[in-house]
Chains A and B, each alone.
Chain A
Amino acid sequence: MLKLSNNPTIDTVTKLVAVAVLMFAFVFVVMVPLYNVLCDALGINGKPSGEAYTAVPAQVDESRVVTVQFVATNNENMPWQFGPSVTRMKVHPGAVNDTVFFAANPLDKAMVAQAIPSIAPSRAAEYFHKTECFCFNQQPLDGNSSAQMPLQFIVDQDLPRDISTITLSYTIFDVTDMVNGSVAVR
């Protein structure tokens, strides 16, 4: 075994301190990134990929219809009116679909929002591809104004057969302070 010192006690202590330091680092450099990777890959918590999907040419499965529901939630202290323009769509796997969400800022001051998507059932997350989404970026909105926010998505043809309904939920957070405080947002 590796020997770090001729004094056996110092040798043991040095190794143990190294283990403790490594375990502390392990949290930041392994657990957090690994968790995020696993979530992305497996759709844990229904957390869909945060990046735009590059559409690959694919056949549209006309024989199958999947219902996509849209749900919007405001996080605490988020005064915007926010919601889908249609509450549900019937789509074919493989087809490119467009919809919009509306948002209105009733306050007098400009604000910035971040929408966080989540999909139920969570195992559908990896089959739900967004080619364009307002959730990819923070959304600024001037006081007393409103906006139409586009969403374009494809439901994968490989979506397991037993899933007939997918719920896409957006929770909208007020991130004005985070942005203005010019604090780095991960």
Chain B
Amino acid sequence: MGDHHHGPAKGLSRWLFTTNHKDIGTMYLWFSFAMFILGGAFAMVIRAELFQPGMQLVEPAFFNQMTTLHGLVMVFGAIMPSFVGLANWMIPMMIGAPDMALPRMNNWSFWILPPTFLLLASTLFVEGGAPNFGWTFYAPLSTTYAPPSVTFFIFSVHVLGLSSIMGSINIIATVMNMRAPGMTYMKMPLFVWTWLITAFLLVAVMPVLAGAVTMMLMDIHFGTSFFSAAGGGDPVLFQHVFWFFGHPEVYIIILPAFGVVSQIIPAFSRKPLFGYDSMVYATASIAFLSFIVWAHHMYTVGMPVAGELYFMYATMLIAVPTGVKVFNWITTMWRGALTFETPMLFCLGFLVLFTIGGFTGLMLSIAPSDFQYHDSYFVVAHFHYVMVAGAVFSMTAGVYYWLPKWCGRMYNESMGKTHFWISFIGFNLTFFPQHFVGLAGMPRRIPDYALQFTDFNMMSSIGAFIYGASQILFLYNVIATIVAGKPTSEEKVWEGAEGLEWTLPTPAPYHTFETPPAVK
């Protein structure tokens, strides 16, 4: 036993060979933050170029590389790994397990990520430039007409997929087999539930993405014609396969965010989560619906009217379980005793902005009006409301919420609140005007625009710089906390927090729950 209780190894090898869920979680979180900064830097280039009409800073070809890499890095490098990091840290602590079920695989699934993104980013410096076909990489722009770096891109996507699948298998195996005695499924914290469902989605759809890029690879290098009309293939097939992956993918991003919010709102409302069961069922229904609505991204490709109607109705249905979740969160707050520390502020920001994103999502689901919204800035505004204000805000909330537990030090509350308000204002200044320019007819992914879009684009760019700068404050606050935050040893850092993780000492020891806790 004694031998088992050693702390972490020293130096670089600790991180390289670690199988500890907390170490790996930490690495995931730092890595994803680095990617968030990188993807953010790409966004800053985009917004700087769009600050005013005319080409100023970059060439159109490079602009396309920026939009493509921004999307890829943010989705696959920042948001997804950040939630995997959170899962690594929290799931064992929440279900009373000593570690993840497959610690060694856990190490691999992290360590294949950094080289992959290095490879992807390095394509910026190769002949022909980085991928420039958008993060949705529609064929034939991404096959016949792609730069040579597309092969590296395909390889990267394969490795990312592998990493995600390994991570998901690990999470499912942990949740299914390593719960403490008495921790039944319907007692699991909602964050664990949403991740369990997310992990199943990942195992089901990441192979589909791998299939799509494999077909691209074969078309480019082995003379097949999956996506080329000349050989009897069909470019539209690519879009079907891509969105069969792509729609569940957006729920992969948002479901863990729902989980985080469902942990935090009850804590700061000092009241149990309202409608736990219905939250679980709503999550499951959203996951199920995500498989049967993919073609709502393709209303303009020329589907038969029956197809349009089917995808429209199915998509509208998603509003029901999503609405249930929002109502449940608000009812959780109802007649609680609310306080507004930074995690709660970010959750409230999430609630307002994600709901707005949900409304625009409902508008987009209406096929006839989507003919006007599709591929315009309205869509850009919509998915940033759900991706940034949805996923990133709740992720930020999660970091503030659990940071004291992780490092035994309290972050600076007023700096946290400042971070929230600057983020909130910067975010809305960036993306709210984009609804307007989109409705007024500005297409997405253009490096230059007509004069009538100038004012709102300028506003948008200023907002983006503010939002970007606020993340530096976040970074500073987190580092300052780890290095010199006010030490705390209270087990329950937050008055209203519930769950097994708050029964552990603060900071959480390197090894936890080596003997399973008793669950009431």
Chain A residues near B (Cβ < 8 Å): 8-9, 12-13, 16-17, 19-24, 26-28, 31-32, 35-36, 39, 42-47, 50, 75, 114, 116, 122-123, 171, 173-175, 178, 181, 183-186
Contact = CB atoms under 8 A, between A and B. Distances in A.
Contacts of A114: 230-231
Contact of B211 (A8, A9, A27, A175): A27
13 contacts: A17-B169, A20-B165, A21-B207, A26-B211, A27-B215, A27-B241, A35-B237, A45-B302, A122-B304, A178-B223, A178-B231, A185-B223, A186-B232
Interface string B165-179: 100110011001110
Given A12-B173, A21-B207, A27-B241, 16 more contacts: A9-B173, A9-B178, A13-B101, A13-B102, A13-B173, A23-B203, A23-B208, A24-B207, A28-B215, A31-B244, A42-B304, A44-B307, A46-B302, A114-B230, A173-B229, A178-B230
B225 interface: yes
Given A12-B177, A26-B208, A184 B169 contact: no
B223 A12 contact: no
A13 B437 CA distance: 48
B226 A32 contact: yes
Interface of B: 101-102, 165, 168-169, 172-173, 176-178, 203-208, 210-212, 214-215, 222-226, 229-234, 236-237, 240-241, 244, 301-304, 307
B304 A123 contact: yes
A47 to B, nearest CB: 7
A157 to B, nearest CB: 21
A185 B172 contact: no
B208 to A, nearest CB: 5
B241 A31 contact: yes
B204 A19 contact: yes
A12 to B, nearest CB: 5
Q: Is the interface of B mostly helix, strand, loop or mixed?
A: helix
A41 B215 CA distance: 24
In the complex, the 9 A-B pairs of residues with the closest C-beta atoms, listed nearest first: A27-B211, A183-B223, A173-B230, A24-B207, A23-B207, A12-B173, A8-B177, A16-B169, A9-B101
Given A23-B205, A123-B304, A171-B229, A181 B169 contact: no
Contacts of B176: 8, 12
B232 A16 contact: no
A59 to B, nearest CB: 28
Prevailing SS type, chain A contact patch: helix
Contacts of B168: 16
Nearest to A21: B207
Contacts of A23: 203-205, 207-208, 211
A75 B233 CA distance: 15
A50 B241 CA distance: 22
Given A27-B212, A45-B236, A16 B172 contact: yes
Contacts of B212: 27
Contacts of A9: 101-102, 173, 177-178
Nearest to B225: A186
Nearest to B169: A16
Contacts of A43: 304
Contacts of A24: 207-208, 210-211
Contacts of A186: 224-226, 231-233
A35 B223 CA distance: 20
